[in-house]
Chain A
Amino acid sequence: MIEVRKHESKEILIKEFEGVGMITLRGNFSNKSFQKALTESCKLGVPKPLSIKSNKDLSLAWMSPDELLLIIHTDGKTEKIKKELGFSLEGMHSLVLDVSGSRKIFMIEGTLWRELLAKGSPVDLRKKSFTKGSFLRTRIGQVSVAFWMVSNNSVYVICGRSYSSFFYEWLCNAAVDGSLRKFF
């Protein structure tokens, strides 16, 4: 994970990263062998809809009823995990695809991150609705994104690589000093 750039305002710190390992997984979640392959290679089970499961190295997120996103937080492990998954899912109707190069990841830190994201996103960001472990796909400032909480004061946002410079500028603009008021 390489930090590309960062922007600091009074309330918010925005960091952009590239080179985060991400693997798209498709398959039949109710299939016992699919579940077994997941637990063997990632030590994580299939997450419930709209949620994310994490351990030290990996996060596994629910994207749709037949799609998962595996995020590899430790550098240099993507190839190995991809191979392992490929072996254990062999012969099954499934997909294992490395999408690391087509995504960027943003970390937004600060107590007002909910207010920042709510400026451009239609989802319910109240504390009781969007909690730790929630994973949402939506759009922020017309860009399709997915995000989940890291801690109470920080959130990870994934977006497509080609939109990332627009999205970064959108975030910096939305975080201008004095433009955020405590709401949630």
Chain B
Amino acid sequence: MLRFICPICNLPADETELTPGGEAHIQRKGPGSSDSEFYEYLFERKNPLGIHFERWLHSYGCGKWFHAARCTKTMEVFGTYKAQEVKPPRHIIDNIKKKRPNWKNE
């Protein structure tokens, strides 16, 4: 089972207590963008077999959104961080690189 430590209440929360929010760090493309950019923003999502950054909602706990880095293949969790971060913080990247030296952040 997938278990995250909620970065807001510091409580371990399992998958059934959380609501998935899909891919993290998606930048909005609104008015002024091209059709293809808007299409990409709306529909194109990464679906890697490996390291993925995701949004999760602690719906049965504090009710707040947060970010998580995990491996979709092994369910290994590399860490969770606040929803306000616009990109994965340094310590999360370092943690992933330590465990998966061949991984490249796209």
Contacts and interface: CB of A to CB of B under 8 A. Distances in A.
Contacts of B39: none
How many chain A residues sit at the interface, stated as a range, is 10 to 19
B11 interface: yes
Nearest to B64: A64
| Residue of B13, B16, B60, B64 most packed against chain A (CB within 10 A) | B60
A138 interface: yes
Interface string B26-69: 00000000000000000000000000000000001111100000
A148 B12 CA distance: 18
A161 interface: no
B10 interface: yes
Interface string B7-33: 011111110110000000000000000
B60 A50 contact: no
B61 A124 contact: no
B75 to A, nearest CB: 16
A50 B9 contact: yes
- Interface secondary structure of A, over-half rule: strand
A58 to B, nearest CB: 22
Interface string A92-103: 000000000000
A76 interface: no
B62 A122 contact: no
Interface in A60-103: 63-65, 67
Interface of A: 49-50, 63-65, 67, 122-124, 136-139, 144
Given A64-B63, A122-B16, A139-B60, 18 more contacts: A49-B9, A49-B10, A50-B9, A63-B63, A64-B9, A64-B64, A65-B8, A67-B63, A122-B17, A123-B11, A137-B60, A137-B61, A137-B62, A138-B60, A138-B61, A139-B16, A139-B17, A144-B60
23 contacts: A49-B9, A49-B10, A50-B9, A63-B62, A63-B63, A64-B9, A64-B63, A65-B62, A65-B64, A67-B63, A122-B13, A122-B14, A123-B11, A136-B11, A137-B60, A137-B61, A137-B62, A137-B63, A138-B17, A138-B60, A139-B17, A139-B60, A144-B60
Which 8 pairs from chain A and chain B are nearest by CB?
A: A64-B62, A139-B60, A122-B14, A137-B61, A64-B63, A138-B60, A49-B9, A144-B60
